[in-house]
Chain A
Amino acid sequence: MSVLTPTTISDAAASLAAHPDAQILSGGTDFMVEVNFNHRKPSTVVALGGIEELRRWSNDGTSVFIGAGVTWQDIETGPISALLPALAEAARTVGSPQIRAAGTIGGNLGTCSPAGDGLPVLAALECNIHLVSPRGERIVPFADFMVGPKRNSRAADEIITGVTVPVPDGYQGYAKVGVRNAMVISIASACLVIHDNKVRVALGSVGPTIIRATGAEQWLDQMQAVPGRAVSPAVAAEFGRRVADEARPIDDHRSTADYRRHAISVITRRLLERSAQS
């Protein structure tokens, strides 16, 4: 029973295939919490931290490829932040500086929690997730990847190697609601993106998966509001209300469904207002 530390993606895939019961370790910021709290008993671990290839990123002019091993700290403060500012904004809210220095975008996708800070942005930007196994590479759109709370469509022998994120041609913004002014699990979050003259809005922490509020998006489109141009306060408020109607929040120890729904209506209205000012 051991910790395997492959240095290439193909080695990692081979290790995973050879040990079907192995657990994948990326930044450790979710994995180790489970170990420390006795919810996870590792036997064989395939640790990806030594794979240089996973830390690469590239920009081909229309989309940015981010390797699964890229940390939130790098996304927040590095060159990616200029290309994907909403993702950088989300990155800045992940945990603490120490967690951002270790936690990876691949890990966020692997855990696939509805409260995952980067996920509303990846959903709104309509990214594609790259999965590699000995059987080859598969590319899955975000909407097909996250299938439930902490459930995704990665096969047991697949490794997330990265995401391809199309760069929108318009506004992108993020907001996350938490009770404390730092280091919080989100109670409600949202990313609003304008691309090709259409508004997209994705919600976090208010449903079993990240929710694209497509109903509200279509309504706004039909209002013939020009994305990026000022909307009336009434339209903005109605947009927020309609987005909130598509949220499916629950009551839990962190907050109430009523508050979450209300918070979503406020932050998505404000994001729309901001998109008109930018």
Chain B
Amino acid sequence: MSNNEIYTLTVNGETREVRDAWVGESLLYVLRERLGLPGAKGACEQGECGSCTVVIDNRAVCSCLVLAASATGKEIATVEGLNPDGSLTDVQQAFIDEGAVQCGFCTPGLVVAVHGLLERNPHPDELEVKEALSGNICRCTGYGRIFAAVDKVIADRNGGAR
């Protein structure tokens, strides 16, 4: 299955060439199957679960709904790009510490979404957090420990206050 489609994507700061792709491939497919970045997950193919969340030009979007070949010229950031030096971000550490990870399938999408939220709004209140994450479905945790993790990050970043 090849249509001699060649294009370049900028992913986590690097220029990545995509060759021999079928025109209908989503960015999710290209990241996972062609660029060796399987962190984003597919669970619904229609933007209803957020497991595939990546950041494009500073906006958190569902990569399953992005036609890969149309994402040229944009800055794409995935979960893998959060800590190229191998350390954990405070969001990632909080997810572990607060028990917000069970099966982990929703986790990369949520981590990216939380980073995106706090980038835009460093002091979200409880309802703002919930609304910002309302596009990320978790089937295991019931969200309680996820909220606890986000609260911890917000508190730590603001020296103990919200």
B47 near A98 with CB under 8 A, answer yes
Stretch among B59-67, B77-85, B93-101, B150-158 lining the A interface = B59-67
B23 near A25 with CB under 8 A, answer no
A3, A36, A45, A102: the one within 8 Å of B59 (CB): A102
**Nearest CB to that of B61 among chain A residues?**
A102
Query: Hey, which chain B residues are within 8 Å of A276, CB to CB?
Result: none
Closest Cβ of chain B: how far from A148's Cβ, in Å? 23
B50 near A32 with CB under 8 A, answer no
A97 near B135 with CB under 8 A, answer yes
A36 near B67 with CB under 8 A, answer no
Please count the residue pairs between chain A and chain B whose beta carbons lie under 8 angstroms apart in the complex.
Answer: 109
- Encode B63-93 as 1/0 by CB contact (under 8 A) with A: 0111101111110000000000000000000
- Encode B13-55 as 1/0 by CB contact (under 8 A) with A: 0000000000110100000000000000000011110100100
Query: Hey, which chain B residues are within 8 Å of A29, CB to CB?
Result: 47, 62, 65
Q: What separation, in Å, do the CA atoms of A98 and B61 have in the docked complex?
A: 4
In the complex, chain A residues 14-59 whose Cβ is within 8 Å of any chain B Cβ = 25, 27-29, 31-33, 35-37, 41-43, 45, 47, 49-50
Q: With an 8 A cutoff between CB atoms, is A95 at the interface?
A: yes
A47 near B47 with CB under 8 A, answer no
A3, A73, A183: the one within 8 Å of B134 (CB): A183
Q: What separation, in Å, do the CA atoms of A167 and B64 have in the docked complex?
A: 36
Contacts A99-B65, A101-B59, A101-B60; is A35 near B134 (CB within 8 Å)?
no
B23, B45, B67, B135: the one within 8 Å of A96 (CB): B135
Q: With an 8 A cutoff between CB atoms, is A82 at the interface?
A: no
Query: Hey, which chain A residues are within 8 Å of B59, CB to CB?
Result: 71, 73, 101-102
Q: What separation, in Å, do the CA atoms of A95 and B132 have in the docked complex?
A: 12
Closest Cβ of chain A: how far from B46's Cβ, in Å? 5
Query: Hey, which chain B residues are within 8 Å of A31, CB to CB?
Result: 67
Q: What separation, in Å, do the CA atoms of A95 and B5 have in the docked complex?
A: 31
A183 near B60 with CB under 8 A, answer no
Q: What separation, in Å, do the CA atoms of A49 and B64 have in the docked complex?
A: 16
Contacts A96-B47, A98-B62, A183-B48; is A32 near B23 (CB within 8 Å)?
no
Contacts A29-B65, A31-B67; is A99 near B47 (CB within 8 Å)?
yes
**Nearest CB to that of A77 among chain B residues?**
B120
Contacts A99-B65, A101-B61; is A45 near B46 (CB within 8 Å)?
no
Q: With an 8 A cutoff between CB atoms, is A277 at the interface?
A: no
Contacts A1-B23, A37-B45; is A32 near B65 (CB within 8 Å)?
yes
A5, A102, A182: the one within 8 Å of B66 (CB): A102
B135 near A36 with CB under 8 A, answer no
Contacts A29-B65, A36-B46; is A97 near B70 (CB within 8 Å)?
no
**Nearest CB to that of B45 among chain A residues?**
A36
Contacts A101-B60, A183-B135; is A49 near B70 (CB within 8 Å)?
yes
Q: With an 8 A cutoff between CB atoms, is A2 at the interface?
A: yes
Contacts A32-B65, A35-B67; is A97 near B134 (CB within 8 Å)?
yes
Query: Hey, which chain A residues are within 8 Å of B3, CB to CB?
Result: 1-2
B45 near A99 with CB under 8 A, answer no
Q: What separation, in Å, do the CA atoms of A102 and B26 have in the docked complex?
A: 14
B64 near A97 with CB under 8 A, answer no
Contacts A32-B26, A36-B45, A98-B50; is A182 near B131 (CB within 8 Å)?
yes
Closest Cβ of chain B: how far from A45's Cβ, in Å? 7
- Encode A1-16 as 1/0 by CB contact (under 8 A) with B: 1110100000000000
Question: Which A residues form the contact surface with B (CB < 8 A)?
Answer: 1-3, 5, 25, 27-29, 31-33, 35-37, 41-43, 45, 47, 49-50, 71, 73, 95-99, 101-102, 182-183
A-B contact pairs, 9 of them (CB 8 A): A5-B73, A36-B45, A47-B67, A97-B131, A97-B135, A99-B47, A102-B59, A102-B61, A102-B65
Which 3 A-B pairs rank lowest in CB-CB distance, beginning with the nearest? Answer: A96-B135, A47-B70, A3-B69
Contacts A101-B61, A182-B134 aside, 12 further interface pairs with beta carbons under 8 A come to A3-B23, A5-B72, A32-B65, A32-B67, A49-B71, A95-B47, A96-B62, A97-B60, A97-B134, A98-B47, A102-B61, A183-B134
